[in-house]
Structure 1
Amino acid sequence: MSPTVLREGPFRLFFFSREEPRMHVHISHPDGEAKFWLEPEVGLAESVGLSARQLADARDVVERHTGEICDAWIRHFGA
């Protein structure tokens, strides 16, 4: 299961259920995907197929919505 947290422009942010306990979010784009850690701060974990510009845009989306993403994580996985 991979519930969508939000969509913005070409990006879809989502979680994979039962992947790993450290808070993170996946972000997909028509050209590729990335995974960002949310704690202790937003950081790129991995990416495939995205240009440097697309990664910067993806990071910006994650940073602007970190609170919303963390709230969704807690609702989905528990505290």
Structure 2
Amino acid sequence: MPVILRLNGLKFFFYSNYGNPREPAHIHIRNAAGEAKFWTDGAVKVSRNDGFDTRTIRALTKMIEHNQTLFVEARNDYFS
């Protein structure tokens, strides 16, 4: 489970087992309150949310958009 970024008590990571065929690029976010998964290819979209409120999801979306290149490049580097 490579961790790409830690920010404000949040851990941004992806799992090293993406399945076969591999899922599109995405990032998982976890803290004590919950975990969510966001697609990062193109527009950032929530795939799954377990525990975060709507306000937090909006803030996470902005954080991911701000760091989207970092997340996609880290994933591509890991799997290449």
TM-score (norm 1): 0.89
Q: Secondary structure at the match of 1:68?
A: helix
Aligned to 2:33: 31
- 2: CA distance, partners of 1:55 / 1:8: 15
Runs of 4+ deviating beyond 2 Å: none
- 1:7-66 deviation per Cα after TM superposition (whole angstroms, max 9, x unaligned): 111211000112243100000121001000011321110100111111111111111100
Residue from 64, 67, 70 that aligns with 2:69: 67
Q: Secondary structure at the match of 2:42?
A: coil
Contact 1:11/1:58 (<8 A) preserved: no
| AA of the residue aligned to 1:51 | D
What root-mean-square deviation, in Å, do the aligned CA atoms of Structure 1 and Structure 2 show?
A: 1.1
Q: Secondary structure at the match of 1:33?
A: strand
State the identity as a percent.
27
Aligned to 2:78: 76
Where does structure 2 lack aligned partners over 5 or more consecutive residues? none
1:7 aligns with 2:6: yes
Contact 1:13/1:25 (<8 A) preserved: yes
